[in-house]
Amino acid sequence: MAVFDAVNYDHYSLLQALQLSPDEEVEVLNLNGQRYLGCGWKNSKRLVLHGTAGNNLGAFADGPTILLYGNGQEGVGNTMSDGEIIVYGRVGDIAGYGMRGGGLYIRDNAGYRLGIHMKAYQDKSPVIVVGGQAGAFVGEYMAGGTIIVLGLNGRHNTPTGPYCGTGMYAGEIYIRGEVPEKHRADNSKTELLHGEADLQGILPYLRRFAAHFSYDMDYILAEPFTRLTAVNKRIFSQMYAGFMG
């Protein structure tokens, strides 16, 4: 395993050194906001990061496993195709933007517009699990995949901000606890789910989350979950009138 101390590199030379390293596992120490780590990586490498990762960590990634022991900033997993990003901390806005495959596991909170434009296609179905809270507009324009927000880290009414699922037309959002009416988008319906039997579809994701961050499954499942899905998959179909001249 190659170990790089970020202090010894300027920004691009660090990215280049990581890119060129032949090792299957690469570790970086003392990160201090360096951007674009693992960006565009199409491989099955394991990137272990310590410190604070800058914007667009793992953007466009297609396959690598990225472990971040620290916080991430904006755009973690932006337009990611495949692979797994595990953050032992919090992340900023638009995590998982346009994500179409792989997994994003966040131990603490996520910012605004989590999983915006997330999509699924054939065998590719992305998943985001957030242990803490997420900001407004979770799953905006969502077109596939799964977003799970657990709210395990504090006492609050709901783990997500307002406008949850705005403009979504496919995919599923699971929120541990109940979601107040005012936080839900117009085009969404909710179901309350209890325990393993109801949550079969996402149990593998929850188990993975629990394993990554040493949570007890029974504790996670002790609360009911709310599932948000789109009512109308053609949200704009009635809006237009073709003008033939």
Which lies closer to another protein via its Cβ, residue 124 or residue 208? 124
Residue 168 in contact with residue 140, Cβ under 8 Å? yes
Single out the residue of 21, 35, 48, 162 in contact with another protein (rule: CB under 8 A): 35
First CA to last CA distance, the chain: 67
Nearest-approach distance from CB 239 to another protein, in angstroms:
6
Provide the token pair at 93. 């806005």
Single out the residue of 4, 36, 105, 205 in contact with another protein (rule: CB under 8 A): 36
Residue 176 as a binder of another protein (CB under 8 A): the answer is no
Residue 238 as a binder of another protein (CB under 8 A): the answer is yes
Provide the edge-to-edge strand list for the sheet that holds 127-130: 2-5, 25-34, 46-53, 62-69, 82-87, 103-106, 127-130, 143-149, 170-176, 225-230, 188-193
Cβ-based neighbours of 178, under 8 Å, separated by 6 or more: 158, 192, 224, 226
Residue 167 as a binder of another protein (CB under 8 A): the answer is yes
Nearest-approach distance from CB 60 to another protein, in angstroms:
5
Which lies closer to another protein via its Cβ, residue 60 or residue 215? 60
Which lies closer to another protein via its Cβ, residue 22 or residue 242? 242
Which lies closer to another protein via its Cβ, residue 6 or residue 206? 6
Nearest-approach distance from CB 29 to another protein, in angstroms:
21
Residue 170 as a binder of another protein (CB under 8 A): the answer is yes
Residue 172 in contact with residue 139, Cβ under 8 Å? no
Residue 75 in contact with residue 110, Cβ under 8 Å? no
State how far the alpha carbon of 78 is from the alpha carbons of 47, 148, 179, 200, 232, in Å: 17, 17, 26, 28, 27
Residue 148 in contact with residue 171, Cβ under 8 Å? no
Residue 172 as a binder of another protein (CB under 8 A): the answer is no
Single out the residue of 45, 107, 113, 184 in contact with another protein (rule: CB under 8 A): 113
Residue 67 as a binder of another protein (CB under 8 A): the answer is no
Binding residues for another protein (CB under 8 A) = 15, 19, 35-36, 39-42, 55-56, 59-62, 74-75, 78-79, 81, 94, 97-98, 100, 113, 116-117, 119-121, 124, 140-141, 143-144, 167, 169-170, 233-245
